[in-house]
């Protein structure tokens, strides 16, 4: 059974810092990986998708990478802003047509 861990569970940083969030899967055979953010009481917003043929994706200040040999992914946020404060979740699927398995999330607070 696929299990996902995210480290750290919570993080508080001053505005402007660069930071890294980590995600690890017990089964390294990840087909697609997706990073989301969730604001309190809201749905999930997709940030980045790493498709089966990719190892990395970038969007603005965000960069996500996936090491398929270890089943580990990192989300890099550059020059953090207070608006980045949210819970960040990673999710992966083991193959086409299989459901996504989610990590517990990292709660990020960026202080002005």
Partner 1 sequence: KAGVTQTPRYLIKTRGQQVTLSCSPISGHRSVSWYQQTPGQGLQFLFEYFSETQRNKGNFPGRFSGRQFSNSRSEMNVSTLELGDSALYLCASSFDREGTYEQYFGPGTRLTVT
89 binds partner 1 (CB under 8 A): yes
Sheet holding 72-77, edge to edge: 4-7, 19-25, 72-77, 62-67, 56-59
Pick from 18, 26, 46, 58 the residue near partner 1 by CB under 8 A.
46
- Residue pair 40/25 in contact (Cβ under 8 Å)? The answer is no
Of 7-15, 58-66, 77-85, 98-106: span binding partner 1 (CB under 8 A):
98-106
CA-to-CA distance for 1 and 7, rounded, in angstroms?
A: 20
90 binds partner 1 (CB under 8 A): no
Task: Return residues touching partner 1 (CB under 8 A).
Answer: 31-32, 34, 36, 41-46, 49, 51-53, 89, 91, 93, 96-105
């Amino acid at each position: 059974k696929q299990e996902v861990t995210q480290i750290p569970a919570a993080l508080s940083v001053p505005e402007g810092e660069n930071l890294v969030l980590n995600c690890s899967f017990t089964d390294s055979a990840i087909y697609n990986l997706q990073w989301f953010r969730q604001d309190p009481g809201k749905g999930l917003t997709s940030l980045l998708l790493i498709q089966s043929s990719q190892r990395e994706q970038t969007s603005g200040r965000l960069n996500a990478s996936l090491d398929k040999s270890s089943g580990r992914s990192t989300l890099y946020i550059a020059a953090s802003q207070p608006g980045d404060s949210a819970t960040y979740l990673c999710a992966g699927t083991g193959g086409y047509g299989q459901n996504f398995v989610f990590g517990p999330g990292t709660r990020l607070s960026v202080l002005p």
